[in-house]
Structure 1
């Protein structure tokens, strides 16, 4: 298995791992947004709480969630390793600038992927502590729907979004994620060899639309809930 470990620690291997885990996380964000938009249903949290109860008790989804956590860590570790290696190897030019010239991606996003990724990792850590860990520690109130008692995660989220500081932090983090995605989306396909003059313009357009619409969808949620408050 030495060839495999050597591959994973090589620049090419790290790029492939970054691409695959990145695409997995891109798909996850769509699913996560669809679920989170139920926070705006205006039903006191029923739709969101029942959705969250299903997502946290279904065995298949729970297994997928563990793959997600592993994917986030692997994506971050490989990203940092690749970023540091390229900074040392290319100095002022950096790998990201070279990619930007080839792929035509956003120069700011391409040249600051390491810093953007670090900010996103901090956001994920805060987000997990604020919601996931509180749920696991049992610090979540309960709600009953049709005789079924479930954790009232809506109350937890609603309380968090009463804090304007947290709302601003969340919205700014979505802007950072948008910048990260505008480069990462296209770069992932290019690394995997999906790079053709017939399809690349479509992928680039889709990547830009995704990088705007998905973070915007997430950012709207805390703003609306704060204004409703």
Structure 2
């Protein structure tokens, strides 16, 4: 057991935790997007989906607890790695080159992650912790996306999510040992495709609701 704890305390261990929790959130994004797409089916269809989801009762609470735990691990581990890298290299290199596959996603990972955390808290207060006693979830979504300012914030946030995921997806597989010249280009391509699906899929929902 000590070897496991000691491993997690190392830089490699932290990166493994980041990779595992990151891929878990990629899976959550797929499920969450699939559920959100039921909005296109109209009020009754979407509310029916929400009611079916809530019918699982305690299982939903367990899933939320797991997601919260994964989020805490991901955020804290990412923070430790970020400041650890800063302390190891307090000064920037004199020449900032983009060689070695450096992309906007890899260069901005800590910052897009921080912005995503702010958005998630904002999102939870507007939807998850909203008043569900006097209005349906569809009404909550419709009222939120009736405001152009919120639609703008949401779309910008989805762009940030897409940028973060574009690097995080393939980087997680690389950390877990899938760094092979034969497969890595495919994984990178899948990461780009996945980030576009997430960004466009979530990003068009507020536009649809706003213009409906």
SS where residue 201 of structure 1 aligns?
A: helix
Quote how far apart the aligned CAs of 1:88 are.
Answer: 1.5
Quote how far apart the aligned CAs of 1:197 are.
Answer: 1.6
Matched, 1:63 2:62: yes
1:176-223 Cα deviation digits (max 9, x unpaired): 011101110111000000111221111010000011111110000001
Which residue of structure 2 lines up, in the alignment, with residue 73 of structure 1? 72
Quote how far apart the aligned CAs of 1:40 are.
Answer: 1.7
Aligned length: 209
Which residue of structure 2 lines up, in the alignment, with residue 90 of structure 1? 89
Which residue of structure 2 lines up, in the alignment, with residue 158 of structure 1? 142
Contact persistence 1:56–1:62 (CA under 8 A): no
Deviates more, 1:174-183 or 1:45-54: 45-54
| Match of residue 199, structure 2, among 194, 199, 215 | 215
Which residue of structure 1 lines up, in the alignment, with residue 124 of structure 2? 128
In 2, the alpha carbon distance for the partners of 1:56 and 1:62 equals: 10
In 1, the alpha carbon distance for the partners of 2:170 and 2:92 equals: 20
**Where does 1:106-145 land on structure 2 (aligned, <5 Å)?**
106=103, 108-134=104-130, 139-141=131-133
In 2, the alpha carbon distance for the partners of 1:54 and 1:66 equals: 19
SS where residue 132 of structure 2 aligns?
A: coil
Deviates more, 1:83-92 or 1:168-177: 83-92
Quote how far apart the aligned CAs of 1:6 are.
Answer: 2.9
- Pair 38,182 (structure 1): closer, same or farther in 2 beyond 3 Å: same
Quote how far apart the aligned CAs of 1:65 are.
Answer: 2.5
Contact persistence 1:110–1:183 (CA under 8 A): yes
Which residue of structure 2 lines up, in the alignment, with residue 13 of structure 1? 13
| Structure 2 portions without partners, runs of 5+ | none
SS where residue 152 of structure 2 aligns?
A: helix
TM-score, scaled to structure 1 = 0.84
- Pair 64,141 (structure 1): closer, same or farther in 2 beyond 3 Å: closer
CA RMSD of aligned residues (A): 2.0
Which residue of structure 2 lines up, in the alignment, with residue 50 of structure 1? 48
TM-score, scaled to structure 2 = 0.91
1:78-124 Cα deviation digits (max 9, x unpaired): 11111111121123458xx99x855x252x22122111100000000
